[in-house]
């Protein structure tokens, strides 16, 4: 009975928060009717709605455009064959402004659209046959283009995400019926968005996720110089283009931007970074909004032995969450995490090293704990197949492994790349498309063959920790570019002990925003947007704040 009362109380509290948020929106944003359109992603991410509203209305007011919301769940969490019940819910929801329709309507959205998979069937069939013939290996998927627009990475990662519960070994079987159906529908979705963008007066497309099928419309629009393509994610804003068609590529600018700071600014960043790094290695997690459990939370315990005591080289494989995007920053040496891990398993058979694998610590309080369980199963499969690899419990402290004598670490693009380098332990990345690529504190192999050569000859690898570079990297990655880019107090939300990363996607974040963004702050944000959109910059940052 007590739990029921608490749930009921929470329900009515959320209803009140949403009502206030709608009122707040109606006081700040206005609906404009025009043939010119700004497309804004229609989603259930509470954390994105204020920013989508803000940016869409900024552009709408400036250019006299209508705002239209587009459904973006197909081939990620929604099947292309909508049931009659879902179709009825969609039409009724639009009519009565139910649920998120009401939220979007409150900030000026004039209409809602859904992709139509019944169009372009013949064209899709022709393209499917052409593309399917070219797919001889999984790597060929990553090379797929339609009308010179690269979509292979979106297709590959999208299929893995969509079929996470069914994919054998967490990879793709190019001969499977499931993959061919997904490919066919993916082509249909591409053709719908390509035609829609061509046949309507689209000024801008504003999305949230640049990956999977959700990133398809952004990939198409960013290939057109006449359409402003923006991605807003976690309080950060990106302007996409042909050369930078996904978010989180700002690492390519780190060295140049840091060099252009004054000596005083550089020193300030370094001092803050040094203290923040110290906090991180003490196990503190509150500085990182997406983390609730630290791999550095425990100190070294001399009474515990995790690694074997011998003179062999000891390698740690730092696995990735299977729910992550494998091609997040571009192509890697391997098309997915399974192929990478399987390759390392083969390497373990060729070497006389001590091999270990450790997964991320378990986040029982975060929604992606379900994908963590699948990641653990993949690691278990690996150690069962390759018995020279030992699985270390996920919650084992890195302090323990460092003090016991791990010699090398292997990752694709994980944060462990700088963490272990800071402790003077060489880290080999399985890609050149990673955040640390422009620095020398990691071992960045030239290609897959060079990566294999380096693993087979670890004794010959020369390494310099270069802590000054790591501190510079940290300054840019965590301080200069951060979640407070648009709204300066975004990361303050989780400083309340009641909240964590998942709380951003609850009505509580609406409440936080309406209490903290007054007319003055709204005006300051609009000034930042003006400077950013008038610049040629890729990422909105403190450069655009005065």
Rounded-to-integer distance, Cα 111 and Cα 416, Å: 45
Give the 3-state secondary structure percentages of the chain, helix then strand then coil, rounded to 5. Answer: 50, 10, 40
Domains 29-119+185-244+523-544 and 256-480 share a fold: yes
Q: Count of residues for the chain?
A: 546
On whether the CB atoms of residues 158 and 75 are closer than 8 A, the answer is: yes
H/E run at residue 37: strand 36-42
Other beta carbons within 10 Å of 403: 16
For the CA atoms of the chain, what is the radius of gyration? 24
pLDDT at 299: 86
- Which option is the CATH number for 29-119+185-244+523-544: 3.90.640.10, 3.40.140.10, 3.40.50.300, 3.40.50.620? 3.40.50.620
pTM: 0.94
445, two tokens: 């192999």
For 435, the 3-state DSSP assignment is coil
For 93, the 3-state DSSP assignment is helix
Domain boundaries of the chain, sorted by first residue: 29-119+185-244+523-544, 256-480
pLDDT at 335: 97
Long-range contacts from 239-248, C-beta under 8 angstroms, 24+ separation: 239/532, 239/533, 239/537, 239/538, 239/539, 240/210, 241/538, 244/538, 245/150, 245/210, 245/218, 245/219, 246/210, 246/211, 246/215, 246/328, 246/329, 247/210, 248/328, 248/329
pLDDT in tens, 488-533: 999 999 988 899 889 999 999 999 999 999 999 999 999 999 999 9
Mean pLDDT of 156-183: 88
pLDDT at residue 341 is higher than 90:
yes
On whether the CB atoms of residues 325 and 363 are closer than 8 A, the answer is: no
CA distances from 433 to 219, 239, 330, 487, 512 (A): 18, 19, 6, 29, 36
Q: 256-480 adopts what CATH topology?
A: Rossmann fold (3.40.50)
Rounded-to-integer distance, Cα 315 and Cα 310, Å: 13
pLDDT at 193: 98
Rounded-to-integer distance, Cα 87 and Cα 78, Å: 12
pLDDT in tens, 251-266: 999 999 999 999 999 9
pLDDT at residue 288 is higher than 70:
no
Rounded-to-integer distance, Cα 28 and Cα 21, Å: 11
Q: Which residues pair with 422 in a beta bridge?
A: none
């Amino acid at each position: 009975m007590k739990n029921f009362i608490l749930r009921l109380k929470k329900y009515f509290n959320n209803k009140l928060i949403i009502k206030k948020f709608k009122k707040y929106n109606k006081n700040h944003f206005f609906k404009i009717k025009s043939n010119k359109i700004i497309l804004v992603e229609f989603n259930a991410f509470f954390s994105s709605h204020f920013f989508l509203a803000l940016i869409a209305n900024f552009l709408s007011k400036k250019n006299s455009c209508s705002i239209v919301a587009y459904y973006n769940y197909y081939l990620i969490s929604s099947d292309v064959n909508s049931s009659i019940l879902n179709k009825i819910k969609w039409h009724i929801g639009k009519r009565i402004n139910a649920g998120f329709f009401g939220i979007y309507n409150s900030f000026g959205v004039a209409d809602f659209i859904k992709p139509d998979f019944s169009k372009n069937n013949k064209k899709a069939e022709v393209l499917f046959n052409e593309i399917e013939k070219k797919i001889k290996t999984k790597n060929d998927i990553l090379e797929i283009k339609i009308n010179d627009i690269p979509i292979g990475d979106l297709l590959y990662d999208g299929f893995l995400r969509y079929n996470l519960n069914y994919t054998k070994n967490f990879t793709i079987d190019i001969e499977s019926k499931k993959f061919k159906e997904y490919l066919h529908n993916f082509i249909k979705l591409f053709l719908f968005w390509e035609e829609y963008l061509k046949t309507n007066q689209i000024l801008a497309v504003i999305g949230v996720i640049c990956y999977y099928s959700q990133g398809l419309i952004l990939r198409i629009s960013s290939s057109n110089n006449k359409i402003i393509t923006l991605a807003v994610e976690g309080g950060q804003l990106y302007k996409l283009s042909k050369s930078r068609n996904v978010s989180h590529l700002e690492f390519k600018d780190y060295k140049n931007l840091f060099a252009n700071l004054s000596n005083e600014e550089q020193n300030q960043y370094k001092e803050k970074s040094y203290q923040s790094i110290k906090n991180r290695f003490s196990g503190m997690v509150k500085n990182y909004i997406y983390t609730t459990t630290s791999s550095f939370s425990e100190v070294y315990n001399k009474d515990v032995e995790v690694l074997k005591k011998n003179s062999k080289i000891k390698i740690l494989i730092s696995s990735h969450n299977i729910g992550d995007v494998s091609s997040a920053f571009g192509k890697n040496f391997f098309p997915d995490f399974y192929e990478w891990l399987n390759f390392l398993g083969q390497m373990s058979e060729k070497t006389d090293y001590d091999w270990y694998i450790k997964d991320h610590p378990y986040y029982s309080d975060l929604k992606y704990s379900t994908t963590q369980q699948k990641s653990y199963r993949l690691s278990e499969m690996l150690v069962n197949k390759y018995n020279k690899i030992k699985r270390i419990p996920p919650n084992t402290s890195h302090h323990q492994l460092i003090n016991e004598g791990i010699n090398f670490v292997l990752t694709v693009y994980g944060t462990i790349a700088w963490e272990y380098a800071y402790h003077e332990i060489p880290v080999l990345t399985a890609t050149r498309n990673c955040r640390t690529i422009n620095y020398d504190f990691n071992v960045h192999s030239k290609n897959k063959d060079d990566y294999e050569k380096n693993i087979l000859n670890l004794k010959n690898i020369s390494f310099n920790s270069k802590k000054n570079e790591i501190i510079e990297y940290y300054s840019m990655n965590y301080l200069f570019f951060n979640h407070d880019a648009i709204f300066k107090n975004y990361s303050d939300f989780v400083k309340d002990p009641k909240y964590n990363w998942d709380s951003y996607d609850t009505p509580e974040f609406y409440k936080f925003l309406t209490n903290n963004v007054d007319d003055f702050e709204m005006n300051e944000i609009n000034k930042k947007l003006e400077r950013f959109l008038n610049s040629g910059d890729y990422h909105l940052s403190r450069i655009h704040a005065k």
